[in-house]
Amino acid sequence: MGRTLAEKVWDDHVVRRAEGEPDLLFIDLHLLHEVTSPQAFDGLRLADRKVRRTDLTIATEDHNTPTLDIDKPIADPVSRVQLETLRANCAEFGVRLHSLGDVEQGVVHVVGPQLGLTQPGTTVVCGDSHTSTHGAFGALAFGIGTSQVEHVLATQTLPMARPKTMAITVEGELPDGVTAKDLILAVIAKIGTGGGQGYVLEYRGSAIRSLSMEARMTVCNMSIEAGARAGMIAPDETTFAYLEGRDHAPKGADWDAAVAYWKTLATDEDAVFDAEVFIDANELTPFVTWGTNPGQGAPLGANVPDPASFEDPQERIAAENALTYMGLTAGTPLREVKVDAVFVGSCTNGRIEDLRAAAAVVEGRRIADGVRMLVVPGSVRVALQAIDEGLDKVFTAAGAEWRHAGCSMCLGMNPDQLAPGERCASTSNRNFEGRQGKGGRTHLVSPQVAAATAVLGHLASPADLSDAPQLVEA
Amino acid sequence: MEKFTSHTGRAVPLRRSNVDTDQIIPAHWLKKVTRNGFEDGLFEAWRKDESFVLNRPERQGATVLIAGPEFGTGSSREHAVWALQNYGFKAVISSRFADIFRGNSLKNGLLTVILPQETVERLWAVVEADPQAEVTVDLEAREVRAEGVNAPFELDENVRWRLLNGLDDISITLQQEADIAAYETGRPAFKPTTTPVG
Ligand code: SF4
């Protein structure tokens, strides 16, 4: 019987298989950042162990880093200690680190792919749930906990139980103005935040094939919000074209051997998935979340739902609580929801294509009075590329703030936070209570919707902009 | 992980039930970046009271904690185990432990021993009557001994084997080092490394 993409990559990494035991998997790439690694390094030190494969390990600073005044000492003592600890650990154990101020610094899931380290058919782990991002290349990529980080550092392997597989087939063509973010939000709304539990998702179908690498990363990134262990997309010409020439991509004869191998990874025609979901791309529209988990989303053209309309009592209660926290009234058109802030960035939508999309919307326009818009590139490389294309000027001319690379307002761990009660249209991935700052209210959206929302001051798509005030040139 | 074969030491009688992990180590300690240095956070709130058993001079240097039922309930933080170990405890005796806490403790080499509540009461009586009384937790013989007490206990055979040999998950994987090395030899040359290029 044929095998799926996930099964092929899994099988190629089994170091040891024994009856009644989890498989021992070899890890090709281990990504580190400052938050989940300190106790792992400490564990190594206590047991007098080394990092087995420093040449398969790389670290970057992202969660705690400020996006302003990066040449000044970090003000928050807890953040400073975490960063200093990572620096000391990497120096002591010989791990390559890209610190704040370095040209390769950035959000860990943006840095790995842009260096060409994330490749088809590899296993990638990181002490961070959004490691699923790397699955866009046909890599098997898992988020892991601190004790597992230590395990990988010491052994370059991980004992793991074989996951089940789920096919998410998206056929058709995404309508104009509908993006990968809308697609994945619709998938999560359909299967629920627990729908992917225990599964590796494989996104397939014509709509997925036509996505760029950036867009594929957006989709795989949020697999975790559907509860899945990982998300994957079979590598194809788009993948190869993205990788070719990157720093760590194979060169010469190695490139040919690699491509030949990568081409064997696609799911066999007679392979069987443990579960299947079908989605019609033609029916998708811009999507926004109205609640406090990523599954509480609806088309932008819809109204805030009435909790009473949920049959499941748990969902009804969750919806009631969400509306209270979000300060929303059932029946309000989502387009009438006014925002205080807009955040464009994160490992979901902080890549160059996302910045281009947002810039195209705000170009020649002003963002609405009273709205604060933060644009945060996912990495320094993305920032440099954007500056090269003049995107930073487009944003600042429109009244937005152009910041330094990092996780920024995706989570309340650095100075970029919402004030209590503030409402934000955000291109990030989590809308949990307090995620962007205590009491902050988050609506997850695509970069295009975020930009249109910034211009109009309420949730909106670029299509709503025709009657928006145009900047009059002097 | 240190091997655990048998341990003898003075004990602290903690006559409280439902001691949750928030009491063992309060949340504000979780920002730390190390696995050690949690000893001052252990039972932090209770230790503000001078008469709390851990504060008494005769209990200094004790290494066995004898607690009431449902020890370690609440949040799954592994820091609770680290705090007990950092303080110097080698074993905790109770009639019932919360599952996750027990799993964490055995993974880290802190031996959690389940004894019937009446045995726990007898041990309390012994160590309260004589603070110098020693308690032996013998993993090889699978029994707890103190003056007038000789109590057998049960433990999963695989877990016992790991503790006796001082094997954590990493140690066990490292025993398969030959398999890992063999796998590494067979990896294709085109696989990426993080070694800086150029
Ligand atoms: S950008 Fe957000 S989701 Fe991504 S790694 Fe940073 S904090 Fe996590």
Q: What is the pLDDT of residues A338-363, one digit of tens each?
A: 999 999 999 999 999 999 999 999 99
Rounded mean pLDDT of A401-405? Answer: 97
Packed helices B157-165 and B99-108: angle between N→C axes, nearest 10 degrees: 30
Nearest-by-Cβ selection for A38 from B33, B176, B187:
B33
Nearest-by-Cβ selection for B190 from A43, A117, A254:
A254
User: Which residues in chain A (313-342) have CB-CB distances under 8 A to chain B?
Assistant: none
Phi, psi of A37, deg, nearest 5: -100, -20
Rounded mean pLDDT of A319-332? Answer: 97
| Residue of B24, B3, B2 lying closest to B140 (CA atoms) | B3
Report the pLDDT value the prediction gives residue A472, as an integer from 0 to 100. Answer: 52
Taking only the tens place, the pLDDT of each residue in B25-62 is 987 787 788 888 999 999 999 999 999 999 999 999 99
Report the pLDDT value the prediction gives residue A51, as an integer from 0 to 100. Answer: 98
**CB within 8 Å: A261 and B78:** no
Look up the ipTM and state it. Answer: 0.93
Taking only the tens place, the pLDDT of each residue in A415-455 is 999 999 999 999 999 998 888 998 999 999 999 999 999 99
For a mutational test of ligand 1's pocket, the pick from A181, A184, A407, A429, i.e. the residue with the most ligand atoms closer than 8 A to its C-beta, is A407
For a mutational test of ligand 1's pocket, the pick from A65, A79, A343, A346, i.e. the residue with the most ligand atoms closer than 8 A to its C-beta, is A346
Taking only the tens place, the pLDDT of each residue in A371-391 is 999 999 999 999 999 999 999
Largest CA distance in chain A: 76
Protein residue with least CA distance to atom 4, ligand 1: A347
Q: CB distance from A85 to chain B under 8 Å?
A: yes
Average pLDDT, chain B: 93
Q: CB distance from B179 to chain A under 8 Å?
A: yes
Residue A473, pLDDT above cutoff 60: no
Give the C-alpha separation, A158 to A229, whole Å.
14
Residue A248, pLDDT above cutoff 90: yes
A contact test, residue of B107, B172, B194, B197 with most A CBs within 10 A: B194
Residue B75, pLDDT above cutoff 80: no
Report the pLDDT value the prediction gives residue A474, as an integer from 0 to 100. Answer: 43
Report the pLDDT value the prediction gives residue A449, as an integer from 0 to 100. Answer: 98
Contacts of B73 (CB under 8 A, 6+ apart): B18, B19, B20, B21, B98, B101
| Residue of B155, B139, B169, B167 lying closest to B64 (CA atoms) | B139
Q: CB distance from B175 to chain A under 8 Å?
A: no
Report the pLDDT value the prediction gives residue A470, as an integer from 0 to 100. Answer: 55
Contacts of B160 (CB under 8 A, 6+ apart): B139, B142
Query: DSSP 3-state assignment of B101?
Result: helix
Taking only the tens place, the pLDDT of each residue in A36-89 is 899 999 999 989 999 999 999 999 999 989 999 988 888 888 889 999 999 999
Question: In terms of CA atoms, which chain B residue is nearest residue A34?
Answer: B33
Neighbours of A372 (CB within 10 A): 17
Share of chain B above pLDDT 90, in %: 74
Residue B198, pLDDT above cutoff 80: no
For A457-460, the CB contacts below 8 A with 24+ separation are A457/A338, A457/A339, A457/A368, A457/A369, A457/A370, A457/A371, A458/A335, A458/A336, A458/A337, A458/A338, A458/A339, A459/A288, A459/A300, A459/A334, A459/A335, A459/A336, A459/A337, A459/A339, A459/A425, A460/A300, A460/A335
Residue B168, pLDDT above cutoff 50: yes
For a mutational test of ligand 1's pocket, the pick from A354, A410, A432, A436, i.e. the residue with the most ligand atoms closer than 8 A to its C-beta, is A410
Q: CB distance from A159 to chain B under 8 Å?
A: yes
Average pLDDT, chain A: 95
Count contacts between A and B (CB, < 8 Å): 96
Report the pLDDT value the prediction gives residue A75, as an integer from 0 to 100. Answer: 87
How far is the centre of ligand 1, averaged over its atoms, from the C-alpha of A130 (Å)?
7
Report the pLDDT value the prediction gives residue A266, as an integer from 0 to 100. Answer: 98
Amino acid A319 reads A
Query: How far apart are the CA of B182 and the nearest CA of chain A, in angstroms?
Result: 8
